[in-house]
Amino acid sequence: MKLVLALISLLSLVSCQKDKINLSAINDKEYAEFLMVVESKCLNCHSNYNTTDPNFWVKKGLVVAGEPEKSPLYRSLRGTKLNGVNNMPPLKSPQLTEEELNKIKTWISKLSQFNTNKEIIVEYPEENLLDEQELLSRCYKHFVSLPRLSNSHIKKCSDLINELTLNESNVASSDLRKSILQNFQNFHKSWASEYNFHTKAESWATFELFDYSENSYGFTENLFNKKSKLKDLFIGNRSIVGKRIGKLKNDKLLFKQGNKLDRPLKRYVWALGNDDDNPRVWEQGGNFVKRGELVGFQKQKRNLNRINEVYKDIHNRDKYHVSVDINRGHGGGLLGNPSFLILTYANDNMTFMDGQKHTMRTWSKNVFNDFMCRTLPVLQLYDTYKFVKKDSEIPFQRNNTCMNCHATIDPLAGAMRNITVGFNNVIATQLDLSSNKQGYLQSFIPIDLKENERIFDVPDYARSKRSGTLRYRNFYGDLINKDFNGPDDLGKIIMEQIDPYICFSKRYLEFLTGVQIDLDNLIKNRDYHSAKERYYYNLLNELAINLKQSQNLKSLVRSIVSHPIYRLRDNKPVIRYKDEK
Amino acid sequence: MYKFLFLIFIFKTVFATVSHVPQLVNKYYVYEQLKLIYGEEAKSILEKNILANTKVFAGACDPYAYESEGSKESGKQFQCFNGISSIKANSHSKTSVIRELILEKTCDKLVNLKNLKSGKFNKPVTYTDFNRHYKEFIPHRDLNKKVFESIRRQKINRLNQWKLFSKVVCRSLEWQKI
């Protein structure tokens, strides 16, 4: 008998083993916390509660949306002393804390605010529509940013869209097309966000050798070339650069800062010999970024500038022997573009990545900013508990709030683990770089440590495979957690997601209609959208799906310009939920 | 309770997820439009007041499109007048008091350009002539006759009536809206 009882007890213990609810699929913080309480206090016996479907609780009659006091689940958890129908969990089991009870209450209260299934009514009032001439005027201002002359052959917006074309040499063949080209190039180059200009590279000669806006040419070329595909911009190591026609010799460097002559701001002027009191002659070396009118595009040339050494600082100390074609990309297309790497490199010069203290974190952050319009954190707190290492020697790894960002940017930075940046004087080789007065003619150069074996004491991490994980919550709130093998694979995975296309759509929508969307908030609050927010969420989704399919920005422009919003005088449709007045 | 509602209102207004900003043309459009209307003589005024004011009028500069050699220049409109801070400016501008003030000052200088006295403004004060000037700014619309009448009734000489009218249109938002 004892044996039977023991067996029954053992069986009941086994059957009461906790199941785990798959919380990684939940994108709503309050709901995740609700489920965590259910998992710890209810699931032992109520195994059917092992669900992530929020509708389950309402359908089963356990929860009355928005009304915790009427919800049997909440009432039972409060117990019979507080008008509950019974005591749950049973009094002999561990009871809920006040905090846990509040988590249950919070989510049930929130349920009433769910707007995701409400019908939206949208009106585009006729009295607010532009006539054909006004519409043409708007298009012309957007596309050309110049006044339309009375003899112009452009008679309607579609004529302008047809001008988004290059000839077989990848060149804009008319003045109008060149103006449109320059206008959209200016727009695309404004996409890049937190760059190093104001900290590291602005005062140096770096951007004589690297076009600071190199990443934006690919987008402009895509807009003008119907054969171009957005996803191809994120693969390979040859950038698309501007084709320019110069008229003058250009005897000044680019970035002198205003007309201030006080040192250190005058260093360029001074070093160039433009200082009347102290002229100094120097001879230009290297191939500079071509200057002149932007007329089209070309692939970056191979071996435009080769160097054989880099330095840790401007005074020629800690010299490293290298062999680098400096304008060649480092894989992943735009992700590994040398200009992008310099602008997003936030370590000291010649720092070798170790995967712990030093990684390309600012680069990772900018991948999200520039190509997905997202700011960190892009994970929920409950996504990242599992990455916390309580016994780590690195402080941020012990803290979940820190790991909320690091769980995204650290594994992503694996794609550029082999990169460091050093100085080189390729543009002024004859100058004495140990002189304080002349050293400023140096440039930052990205170096691939894997390809330069003569650089020693490099951590294994920096020389190992350029792999990692793309990890974030996407536009729909789904957790993306994909491993990649190398930058090209990362580029491919990124462009398989909806988020870059959402980002490009959001930017174009703002450019063409003035609608500004805070994407992070729109995603975070998607269960509580106002009618207007829901409308723009759906619109972005629709534009992005089409863009992902077409892979071409021209189709995006066509979609927005032909959308009723574009024709509204104030670009503001009247939007409400069906049951709202 | 009211404080709470007020806070919600402020929060919704200031931190709106979706907001709409009416767009105005950038410095390139303003520069070309006013140069077209007031002539080449206006160039230096426009360079100093409009092109060099990227923060106010928007429109990113392009340092690679601007060329210079000694005193010669090409692609002047793309120059980064105030250093590199303007290479990442917005594409379009928006209304602001400072923009209105700068444009008013610029228009004031433009209507006083010498060549206008013997050229564009050397005409009688008629609706047809005023409307023609108005259409240089806003081609698809006609001048409101009440505006014409109100200027015509001003007790100032013909040249000053022209200057007044031109300045009113020059600084108006109508032609700047996108």
DSSP-based helix, strand, coil % in chain B, nearest 5: 55, 5, 35
CA distance B63 to chain A (A): 7
* Mean pLDDT on A156-171: 96
Report yes or no: A443 and A335 within 8 Å, Cβ to Cβ: no
Instruction: State how far the Cα of A10 lies from the Cα of A19, in Å rounded to an integer.
Output: 17
> Other CB atoms closer than 10 Å to residue B100's CB: what's the count?
13
What is the chain A residue with the closest CA to B135?
A: A150
Whether the per-residue pLDDT at A410 is higher than 50: the answer is yes
Pick A317 or A533 by higher pLDDT: A533
- Chain B residues within 8 Å of chain A (Cβ atoms): 15-23, 25-26, 28-29, 32-33, 36, 59-60, 62-70, 72-75, 78, 82-84, 87-92, 139-140, 178
CA distance A373 to chain B (A): 14
Report yes or no: A225 and A166 within 8 Å, Cβ to Cβ: yes
End-to-end CA distance of chain B: 41
Residue A166 identity (one-letter amino acid): L
Whether the per-residue pLDDT at A279 is higher than 60: the answer is no
DSSP letter at A294 equals: E
User: Phi/psi at A572 (nearest 5 deg)?
Assistant: -120, 100
Please report residues of A whose CB lies closer than 8 A to that of B82.
Answer: 258
pLDDT one-digit tens code per residue, B79-129: 887 766 678 889 999 999 999 999 999 999 999 999 998 889 999 999 999
> What pLDDT shows up at residue A10?
46
* Number of Cα atoms under 13 Å in the Cβ half of residue B155: 0
CA-based angle B41:B46:B48, to the nearest 5?
115
Say whether B90 and A190 touch across the interface (CB within 8 A): yes
Report yes or no: B107 and B170 within 8 Å, Cβ to Cβ: yes
Among candidates A148, A49, A10, A132, which has minimal Cα distance to B29? A148
| Distant-in-sequence, close-in-space partners of A379: CB < 8 Å, separation ≥ 6 | A404, A407, A408, A471, A472, A473, A479
pLDDT one-digit tens code per residue, A27-56: 778 888 899 999 888 888 888 888 887 777
DSSP string, B12-62: HHHT-SEEE---B--HHHHHHHHHHHH-GGGHHHHIIIIIT-HHHH-----
Report yes or no: A565 and A122 within 8 Å, Cβ to Cβ: no
User: Predicted confidence band at A263 (pLDDT cuts at 50, 70, 90)?
Assistant: very low
Whether the per-residue pLDDT at A296 is higher than 50: the answer is yes
Please report residues of B whose CB lies closer than 8 A to that of A137.
Answer: 139-140
Chains A, B: CB pairs < 8 Å: 135
pLDDT one-digit tens code per residue, B153-175: 988 999 999 999 999 999 999 99
Please report residues of A whose CB lies closer than 8 A to that of B51.
Answer: none
Using left for φ > 0, alpha for ψ between -120 and 50, and beta otherwise, residue A514 falls in left
Instruction: State how far the Cα of A107 lies from the Cα of A68, in Å rounded to an integer.
Output: 9
Instruction: State how far the Cα of B141 lies from the Cα of B136, in Å rounded to an integer.
Output: 10
Instruction: State how far the Cα of A148 lies from the Cα of B37, in Å rounded to an integer.
Output: 13
> What pLDDT shows up at residue A225?
95
Say whether B19 and A255 touch across the interface (CB within 8 A): no
CA-based angle B119:B121:B125, to the nearest 5?
140
Write the burial class of residue A237 (CB in 10 Å: 0-12 exposed, 13-18 middle, 19+ buried): middle
Among candidates A281, A272, A234, A278, which has minimal Cα distance to A253? A272
Please report residues of B whose CB lies closer than 8 A to that of A253.
Answer: none
Residue A231 identity (one-letter amino acid): K
Percent of chain A with pLDDT over 70: 85
Say whether B69 and A571 touch across the interface (CB within 8 A): no
Hey, is A468 helix, strand or coil? strand
Instruction: State how far the Cα of A64 lies from the Cα of A111, in Å rounded to an integer.
Output: 9
Range ranked top by mean pLDDT from A72-86, A192-206, A358-372, A435-449: A358-372
